[in-house]
């Protein structure tokens, strides 16, 4: 996303959740992804994904 991508794939976590617990597993997998994204944004000092940019990358 920092390099300009408009989205990312979440197919595998979706399928793992579906295989493990059905519909509830998909919901749980998506909740985990959302929480992890919130934590990552907070650690970067950002509130929104759209605020992320190349300055968050390290070479």
- Note the pTM of the prediction, 2 decimals: 0.75
Greatest Cα-to-Cα distance within the chain, rounded to the nearest angstrom = 40
Q: pLDDT averaged over consecutive 10-residue blocks of the chain (59 residues)? A: 79 90 94 94 91 85
How far is it, in rounded angstroms, from Cα 3 to Cα 55? 10
Structural domain count of the chain:
1
35 assigned to some structural domain: yes
Contacts of 1 (CB under 8 A, 6+ apart): 8, 49, 52
Query: What pLDDT sits at residue 1?
Result: 79
SS3 content of the chain, % helix, strand, coil (to 5): 65, 0, 35
Query: What pLDDT sits at residue 17?
Result: 92
16 assigned to some structural domain: yes
How far is it, in rounded angstroms, from Cα 46 to Cα 6? 18
Query: What pLDDT sits at residue 53?
Result: 86
Find the domain containing 19 and state its range: 11-52
């Amino acid at each position: 996303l920092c390099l300009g991508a408009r989205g990312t794939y979440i197919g595998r976590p979706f399928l793992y959740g579906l295989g493990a617990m059905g519909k509830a597993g998909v919901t749980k997998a998506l909740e985990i992804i959302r929480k992890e994204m919130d934590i990552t944004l907070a650690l970067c000092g950002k509130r929104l994904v759209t605020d992320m940019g190349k300055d968050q990358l390290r070479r």
